[in-house]
Amino acid sequence: MALLSCSDALELVASKMSALPPNSATERISLGAARGRVLAHSITADRDQPPFPRSTRDGFAMQAADATATMQLIGAIRAGEQWTGPPLQPGQALEIMTGAPVPQGADAVVMVEHVTTEGTTLTLQPGRTLRAGENIVPRAAEARSGDVLLQPGVSIGAAEIALAASVGAAQVTVFAQPLVAVLATGDELVALDETPDAMQIRNSNSHALAALVQEHGGTARVLPPAADTRESLHAAITGARDAAMLVLSGGVSAGKYDFVEDVLLSLGAEFFFTGVAMQPGKPAVFGRIPATPEHPDQWIFGLPGNPVSTQVTALLFAMPMLRALAGEAAAKPSFAQATLTVDVKVKPCLTRFLPARIDSSLTGATVQPTGWQGSGDLNANARANCYLVVPPDATNLQPNDIVTVLLRSR
């Protein structure tokens, strides 16, 4: 199978995501536990929002037509209170606080810093004007009772929790989290609590992938590393057949002991790509084991074993699929634009993802590579917070170029 371009590989994964059947497994949880979950049932407004004309400033409620006159103060109203007096008449003003309901008869709020007060009278400062509706949010301007505020498929964050809380949604219905089996391969791997021999390494990939799975809305089942034999791989993969997704690291290159593709084929897997024109991550594999009477479709991502390769390809391909399986409607990798601060020289032909650090301020974002020793450099990867994307036709990126970055956090 020929190498796909990175953009074609992303489109292919997206096409499979768009054809997924709806996630029918749901559960009811408290709103406080909903961060990072995907909403399954819509949330509607239980009343108009706001339920009354609301002042957006500390100031004075009045009629805008009286802005040039001297006004008579007749009282004050705070947030949470309601004016119980008669409607405001021309020439009258009412002190009002941010969030308080605007009384009948008033059609504007003048900001407190724009008036001069003397006892119970006030006048606008010279040059100040006031128009009808100023500093007032009308009733139902944000939503009407019964309006859908949050649609199914939304990933729930702080903003969504605040909106749900405002309509009294103490509990929400969310999609069940897909089970993801995480399998690292390689004779050189040992557990974290073991002392590696001179030619061994600790299994970092499984822990990194499990963390990504948790961050992107799944439940990770970390399997013991599989040895570089067909028998070990076959046993591990068949034992994880109940998972909605299987993410493997290692064993997908063309080496003598890379058996992942052979074992998957023996289990009936179909491959959609078996290599991408990118660095790191060129040997990445995407496929599916079709459903059986015992198990549903299982999506397969075989990722290169070098740690940076594993994490880049997981962010690009596996994590968006996971979020789609979890019911998220707009799942895709997170890209952004930034201004490059240094020269970057590469050879053309492959899309490259370089560990980099993006820094942002009110004036924009800048990015520069961290410097690395290749796709096994965990130190450089930990110093980075994104990956600089170098297009396949680029040979030299220069300072002040606007470049694309792949973000590590959502």
pLDDT category, 106, cuts 50, 70, 90?
very high
The string of pLDDT tens digits covering residues 148-195 is 999 999 999 999 999 999 999 999 999 999 999 999 998 888 888 888
Q: What is the DSSP letter of 316?
A: I
| CATH number belonging to domain 54-137 | 2.170.190.11
CATH of region 4-25+177-325 = 3.40.980.10
pLDDT value at residue 255: 58
What pLDDT does 254 receive? 60
Q: Where are the domains of the chain?
A: 4-25+177-325, 28-46+146-175, 54-137, 335-407
Cα separation, 150 vs 86, whole angstroms: 39
- Residue 30 forms beta bridges with which residues? 171
- According to CATH, the superfamily of the domain at 28-46+146-175 is Molybdopterin biosynthesis moea protein, domain 2 (3.90.105.10)
Place of tokens 């997908």: 252
Q: Which amino acid is at 260?
A: V
Residue 310 three-state SS: helix
* Closest CA relative to residue 285, chosen from 247, 333, 244, 228: 247
Query: Coil, strand, or helix at residue 67?
Result: coil
Of 118, 78, 75, which Cα lies nearest the Cα of 93?
75
Residue 115 in tokens: 């008036």
Tell whether the torsion through CA atoms of 157, 159, 162 and 165 is positive or negative.
negative
Is the per-residue pLDDT at 257 higher than 70?
no
Q: What backbone phi and psi angles, to 5 degrees, belong to 163?
A: -65, -45
* Residue 264, amino acid: L
Distance of CA 249 to CAs 82, 182, 318, Å?
A: 63, 8, 12
Residue 401's Cα: distance from chain center in Å? 26
pLDDT for the residue numbered 23: 86
Read off the pLDDT of residues 30-69 as tens digits, 9 standing for 90 and up: 999 999 999 999 999 999 999 999 999 999 999 999 988 8
Q: Does 95 have pLDDT greater than 90?
A: yes
- Confidence class for position 27, pLDDT limits 50, 70, 90: very high
Q: Give the closest residue to 262 by CA, choosing from 296, 298, 234.
A: 234
User: What mean pLDDT is predicted for residues 377-398?
Assistant: 95
> What is the rounded CA–CA span in Å between residue 381 and residue 370?
8
Whole-number percent of the chain with pLDDT over 90: 85
Q: Is the model's pLDDT at 7 over the cut of 80?
A: yes
Residue 22 pLDDT > 90? no
What residue has token string 């590989």? 9
Largest Cα span, the chain: 91
pLDDT for position 300 = 97
What stretch of H or E contains 206? helix 205-215
Nearest to 318 by CA among 331, 301, 305: 301
Is residue 196 classed as helix, strand or coil in its secondary structure?
coil
Architecture of 335-407 per CATH?
Answer: Beta Barrel (2.40)
Q: Which residues pair with 95 in a beta bridge?
A: 60, 76
Q: pLDDT at position 196, please?
A: 81
Closest CA to 289 of 298, 276, 278: 298
Q: Are 300 and 289 in contact (CB under 8 A)?
A: yes
Per the structure block, which two tokens stand in for 100? 């308080």
342-354 pLDDT per residue, tens: 999 988 899 999 9
What's the first-to-final CA gap in the chain, in angstroms?
32
How does DSSP classify residue 49?
Answer: B
Please name the helix (run of DSSP H) or strand (run of DSSP E) that holds residue 321, with its range, or none. helix 319-325
**Quick one: tokens of 116?**
């001069």
Mean model confidence pLDDT for the chain: 94
* Spatial distance between the Cα atoms of 359 and 81, rounded to a whole number of angstroms: 45
- pLDDT for res 188: 85
> Of 213-217, 261-265, 320-324, which range is least confident?
261-265
Q: Do the domains 28-46+146-175 and 54-137 sit in the same CATH topology, yes or no? A: no
